[in-house]
């Protein structure tokens, strides 16, 4: 394997001769050829770097490696079964809940503003006096 930093150095030195996008179970890897060596590109954690979609791997080869032509070997490719990112599903669920709550809250605020426009407004001192009177009356009943 070859790490991303070494790949960048080889690109800067224009030493990469060719690349192959290799099908993997659940994704695609990239094999680079430089000199007489072949190495697969590793992630920062020194594991095989994979792309979920062929387009993403191709964009890496074209954009990062600067190669307009490359090979594709799909013989080992298998589509990933199920949902690989349960955290993504949870994040989307929370976003929908937040959007629903936001819409509800905005509707409540709008309804309150419309009600305030319809009603006669009173001064704060009058409102506090009415609340205090209600508290005194409730205390006297008990």
Closest CA to 52 of 71, 75, 24, 73: 24
Say whether pLDDT at 78 is over 90: no
Domains of the chain by start residue, with CATH: 4-73 (3.30.2180), 86-141 (no CATH)
Decide which of 87 and 134 is more confident: 134
Question: What b/e readout covers 35-49, taking b as 16+ CB neighbours within 10 angstroms?
Answer: eeeebbbbeeeeeeb
Cα–Cα distance measured from residue 7 to residue 42, given in angstroms and rounded to the nearest whole number: 9
Q: What is the mean pLDDT of the chain?
A: 88
Say which range, 33-37, 43-47, 59-63, has the weakest mean pLDDT: 43-47
Decide which of 45 and 63 is more confident: 63
Closest CA to 11 of 69, 61, 53: 61
Say whether pLDDT at 82 is over 70: no
> DSSP assignment of the chain, as one string?
-B-HHHHHHHHHTT-EEEEEEEEEBTEEEEEEEETTEEEEBB-TTSSB--BSSHHHHHHIIIIIS--S--EEE-TT-BPPPS-S-HHHHHHHHHHHHHHHHHHHHHHHHHHHHHHHHHSPP--HHHHHHHHHHHHHHHHHH-
Report pTM: 0.54
Say whether pLDDT at 115 is over 70: yes
Cα–Cα distance measured from residue 87 to residue 91, given in angstroms and rounded to the nearest whole number: 6
């Amino acid at each position: 394997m070859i790490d991303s930093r070494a790949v960048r150095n080889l690109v800067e030195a224009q030493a990469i001769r060719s690349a192959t996008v290799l099908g993997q179970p659940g994704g695609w890897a990239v094999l680079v050829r430089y000199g007489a060596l072949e190495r697969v590109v590793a992630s920062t954690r020194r594991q095989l770097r994979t792309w979920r979609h062929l387009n993403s791997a191709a964009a890496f080869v074209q954009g990062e490696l600067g190669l307009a032509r490359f090979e594709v070997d799909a013989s080992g490719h298998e589509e990933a079964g199920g949902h690989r990112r349960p955290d993504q599903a949870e994040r989307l669920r929370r976003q929908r809940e937040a959007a629903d709550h936001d819409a509800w809250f905005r509707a409540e605020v709008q309804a309150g503003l419309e009600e305030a426009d319809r009603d006669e407004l009173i001064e704060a001192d009058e409102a506090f006096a009415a609340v205090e009177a209600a508290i005194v009356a409730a205390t006297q009943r008990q």
